[in-house]
Structure 1
Amino acid sequence: MIEVCCGSFEDAMMASECGAKRVELNSALSLGGLTPSLGSLIMIKQYSDIEIVSMVRARAGGFCYTNYQYEQMLENLKLLLAYGTDGVSFGFLNEDRTIDKQRCQEFLENVKNEGCKATFHRAFDCTRNPYEAIETLIDLGFDRLLTSGQEATAEEGIHLLADLQKKYGNQIEIIAGSGVNENNAEKIMKQTGIKQLHSTCRGWGVDATGMGERVSFQVSDEDGDRYRSVSVDRIKKFVEIFG
C-alpha cells in the first residue's frame, strides 16, 4: 500500500482520484507536516471514501512539547476523532529522546475508544535506541510505525528497516517513509520485506502573486512562485506498482 502524504483537501482528492487508498493528512508540509484543518478533513470525508490518517503536531521542531502545546494537541485530537478521521499519526518524546509513555498512552486511549488506528510517526527516528523504542510502542498498543530506519531517507536506512521488519513486523505494521519514490519503491520493499510505503509524491503548484515590489511571501527563494502539492503522475506510478 502507498500512503500519500497530503497537505490539503485538494492533495487528498488528487490522491483519491488516482486510486490511492490512504492518505496522511497534514497542513504546512514545508514544516514537516502539522495538524490539518477540520475543514480539509470534513471535505475529504464528504467527497471521497479514502482512508484518512490525520497528523497531530502543534509545531515544527522536536517532539517534547510544553504543557500548553500538549493540551492544544489533545484538543485537536478529540476534534479530529469527532469529525471522522480513520486514524491518527503522532509522537511524543522525553527530553532524553525516549518515548513519552504517559502522553502516548493518553492519546492512545482516545484513539482506541473511537475504534481508530494509531501511528507513531518519525519522531521514532530521533530516539536513542530503536529496538527499545519499538518494543515500547508495541507494549503501548500502537498499530503502525512510520520510520526511515533512523536515516535521512528510507533507502539509506534500509538495513535497520529490514531488521525491524524481521523482528517486529508481526507485532506492529511498519511503514517505510522519507525519500520514497516511484524509482526506489520496489527496491525498498524487496530488501526490507515492508509492504507499506509513505511518500509525498511531491509535485508543485504555481502562484505568481506572492512577490510584491518590496515584499515576498514565497515559501523560499529556491521555490520561487511554486508551492508544494502532489504529482498526479507520481501517484499513478505508485498505484501501478501496488497493482
Structure 2
Amino acid sequence: MAYCVEVLAASPKDCEIAEQCGANRIELNNGIHLGGLTPSIGTLIMARNVTTLPIVAMVRPRPGGFHYDAMEVETMFIDAKQLIDAGANGLVFGFLKADRSVDASLTKRFVKVCHEHHVEAIFHRAFDCVQDPFAAIEVLIECGVDRILTSGLKDTAIEGVVLLKELQTEYGDRIELCLGSGISAENALSLIDQTGVKQLHGSFKGWYEDPTTRTENVSYAFSNSGDYDGVKPEKLKQMIDVINTKKADSI
C-alpha cells in the first residue's frame, strides 16, 4: 500500500488547497466540528470542478452516535445515491447496533450500493466506539468494506498505536486502515513507524476571517481564534513534505 495523505475538507476551497499542496485523497464533509456530516450536493459538484483528486463523501445524517432510526437510514441511502451521481469516488459511513457492535445487515446493504456503483465503501470512526475491535473488523471484512478510518479506539491515533499495530499486522492484507484524529506533520512518521499503516487522515485546520461575522451586538464567530475554520496550506504542505521525504528514503 502506497503512502496516502487524506485531507478532511468542508468546502471546494479546502479541496482546491488539497490538490495544490499535493495531497492524495479528500474526505468531504459538512459540520466537521460536529464530527462530520453529509455534505451538500452543491459542495460536492463544486469540489469536483476544482480537483481531480479522489473524493470520498461522508454520509452521516446527524451528530451524536451511529445507531439510526428507520428515517435516518433511509435518508442515508438516498444521500448515498445522490452523492455517487454527483461524482463521489467513495462513501464514508458507519452503522452500529445499540450494544455498540457493527450492524452487519445495514453495512452489507450500504457496501452493496457502493460496489454496484464502483465506488469505495469506507467505515468511519464509528469503529472507535465498538466494544470488541477484533470482532468488529472481522464483520467489516465479511461485509466487503474497503477501508476503516480509526484512531485505535482512543481519542487520538497516537494514543491508539498499540491496537492499530495489532490490527494492521493481523488484518492489513484483508482490509485497508487509515489513521485519523490528531494527525500532524510532527507525529506522522512516528505513527507510520509504530503501526505500519501508511494512510493518514487530517484536517490541517487553521482560522479564517469574514468581515461580516461580528457587529457590536451580534457574533457568528465559530471561535475566539477565528470566524471559521478551513484547511491551511502551510500546515498541509508541512505534512506533504514529511511524507515525501519518507517516500524518498524508502526507495
Which band: TM-score by shorter chain?
Answer: over 0.9
Show the counterpart of 1:230.
231
Work out whether residues 98 and 133 of structure 1, in 8 Å CA contact, stay in contact via their aligned partners in 2.
yes
Distance in 1 (alpha carbons) for counterparts of 2:131 and 2:184: 27
Contact 1:29 1:228 in 2 (8 A): no
Do the aligned residues in 2 keep the contact of 1:9 with 1:43 (CA within 8 Å)?
A: yes
Report the CA distance between 1:21 and its aligned residue: 1.6
2:163 to 157, 160, 166: 160
201-210 or 153-162: bigger deviation:
201-210
Contact 2:11–2:47 (CA<8 Å) still a contact in 1?
no
Contact 1:26 / 1:33 at 8 angstroms: preserved in 2? Answer: yes
Tell me the equivalent position of 2:148: 145
Structure 2 counterpart of 1:242:
243
Separation in 2, partners of 1:58, 1:213:
35
- On the 8 A contact 1:201/1:230 being kept in 2, the answer is yes
Do structure 1's residue 46 and structure 2's residue 42 form an aligned pair? no
Instruction: Give, in whole Å, the separation in 1 of the partners of 2:135 and 2:70.
Output: 26
Single out whichever of 154-163 and 36-45 deviates more from structure 2.
36-45
Cα deviation 1:174-233 (Å, max 9, x = unaligned): 01110010000000000100000011111111124222333332224x44x431101101
Q: Which digits, 9 at most, give the CA deviation of each residue in 1:114-163, with x for residues without a partner?
A: 11111100000000100000110001000000000001100000100000
RMSD: 1.1
Q: Match of 2:171, as an amino acid?
A: Y
1:31 maps to 34
CA distance in 2, matches of 1:46, 1:207: 24
In the TM superposition, what whole-angstrom CA distance separates every residue of 1:50-109 from its partner, at most 9, and x where no partner exists? 110100001111001121111111111000011111011100101100101111111111
Q: Matched residues, percent identical?
A: 43
Partner of 2:222: 219
Structure 1 residue aligned with 2:115: 112
- The answer to whether the 8 Å contact 2:18/2:26 transfers is yes
Q: Structure 2: which amino acid aligns with 1:202?
A: K
Match of 1:100 in 2: 103
Q: Secondary structure at the match of 2:97?
A: coil
User: 1:197 maps to which residue?
Assistant: 200
Instruction: Out of 229-238 and 203-212, give the one that drifted further.
Output: 203-212
CA distance in 2, matches of 1:89, 1:118: 6
Report whether the alignment pairs 1:64 with 2:67.
Answer: yes
- Give unmatched runs, 5+ long, in structure 1: none
Instruction: Kindly indicate whether the alpha-carbon contact (under 8 Å) linking 2:12 and 2:50 is maintained by their aligned counterparts in 1.
Output: no
Residues 207 and 229 of structure 2 are in contact (CA less than 8 Å); yes or no, is this contact kept in structure 1?
Answer: yes
Cross-structure match for 2:129: 126
Q: How many residues align?
A: 241
- For residue 171 of structure 1, report the CA deviation from its aligned partner: 0.4
CA distance in 1, matches of 2:214, 2:96: 39
Q: Output the amino acid matched with 1:49.
A: T
Look up the SS of the partner of 1:215 in the other structure: coil
